[in-house]
Amino acid sequence: MEKELVITVPTQIKDNLNIGNIYEFILADFYTKIKKMQGKDVEFGVIWNTNGKLIEEAIIEKNGIFLREEAQALVFDMIKSSNRTMNRFFIEPDFQIRDDMIQKELESCINNKYVSIIENELADIAICSRCGAEFGSDISVTTCKYCGAEVRTIKKNTLFIMAERTALIEKIEKTSFYPDGCRKRLSELINKLPSEYKIILEKNRKYTLSYEGYKLDPRFVTIFTLPIIKKQRKKKYDIVTVFQGDVVKKYDYYAFAYLEKDDCPTNIFMHGLVTDNKKKKLRWRSEDLSANEKVFPGVKSKEFRAFLLKHNIVGNIMLDENTLEKEVKEQVNLFITMKRLLEDRNLDSSLRGIREELKGFYDEFILNANKMRLYEAYKCMYSYIFTCWKLVKDSKLSLDEQQLVTEYMTLYYGKSCNANSEH
């Protein structure tokens, strides 16, 4: 049986998850549960991107100096808070990994598989003349993005890999992209690059991992969690599926540049944004786990999850009070109908199988859900539920028919949904 790894792009740690993070996790969670419904061997992992300036600056602001142990403790608290929010939305990863806690694994991975492509020689480095920020081998950078000062070029010994445009193209051709426009943007980016060039792996950061005495670019570290996961889980994943927003320049390019062919993603699903009614990206996040209820009063987490899973991932989801008010009525009605169908009085446990008028809806649901055509999948699920509701007026559901109602409830509303649930 094929083994599949499902991940979201590394999530930058913060005081709590924002709506974009929640949406992305819900998509990956839904996809994983769909596969498990079909008996597939699949795991969902969350990668926490913890290295870098955000944590550095928080610790320095608090203490005046950087303290690594305190930084690690802060990350722990942030992840704990994020996990509470994930639980609230019934997001259930099989494992989680922090990219600040994999020093030994990173060294082992490089030494066993990647050491031959990492070089340590003189290279041209673009560096800010005022704040010292380094911009790698891109000597076209003339102005510092942090302080605006002039950028100059120096030569220094550093770690780098030689990237080849043709090799990058070969890697992405082996990956399925949905929508395919993601591939197009990535290809356009790569085609503008030199035929061969250096990608610097070193970066001046206090909070990051190291190799051979060099501080590593946090982006390199977090992308290398992918081959490390394979080694830690002791599984040969045949398929690696990644859920992401539009991060072609921030993640996809570097993943294909850094990783060997067999470590690159197999499938990439790119989703749109969650926006307000002015088409601006929603950025709220919660410290008390109830941001959606603050912004949209009366909308419970299970209803919010179902609302997000009703929309196709291509394009943005517009979110405002009027939209949600209408949607919530539908979700509440659907949820109540599911609960009623699960009552004992509607079950004949001696009956097995799924009737033809129901099986078609299920088959179409699976077909669409596997390809993350969420609106089409939702319509099939909806038709199944309300066809069941018509049927129970004259007959009872079989054990398999009722079990499928339970599975739909789990997918859309969370496994803890019951008569006493407060979510």
Amino acid letter for position 170: E
Q: How far apart are CA 251 and CA 245, in angstroms?
A: 10
Report in angstroms the alpha-carbon separations of 41 from 1, 166, 363: 7, 34, 20
pTM of the model: 0.91
Domains in the chain: boundaries: 3-270, 280-413
Residues 6+ away with beta carbon under 8 Å from 89 = 22, 25, 26, 301, 304, 305, 414
CATH architecture of the domain covering 3-270: 3-Layer(aba) Sandwich (3.40)
Neighbours of 99 (CB within 10 A): 25
CATH class of domain segment(s) 280-413: mainly alpha
Element (H, E) at 214: strand 214-215
Q: Same topology for domains 3-270 and 280-413, yes or no?
A: no
For the chain, 423 residues long, give each residue's pLDDT as a single digit of tens.
Answer: 899 999 999 999 988 888 889 999 999 999 999 999 999 999 999 999 999 888 988 899 889 999 999 999 999 999 999 999 899 899 999 999 999 999 999 999 999 999 999 999 998 888 888 888 888 777 678 899 889 999 998 888 999 999 999 999 999 999 999 998 899 999 999 999 999 999 999 988 889 999 999 999 999 999 999 999 988 887 789 999 999 998 999 999 999 999 999 999 999 999 999 887 888 887 655 444 344 455 555 678 898 899 999 999 998 988 877 777 788 889 999 999 999 999 999 999 999 999 999 999 999 999 999 999 999 999 999 999 999 999 999 999 999 999 999 999 999 998 744 433 434
Residues, the chain, total? Answer: 423
- DSSP-H helix ranges across 127-248: 165-173, 181-191, 218-223, 225-233
Give the largest CA-CA distance in the chain. Answer: 82
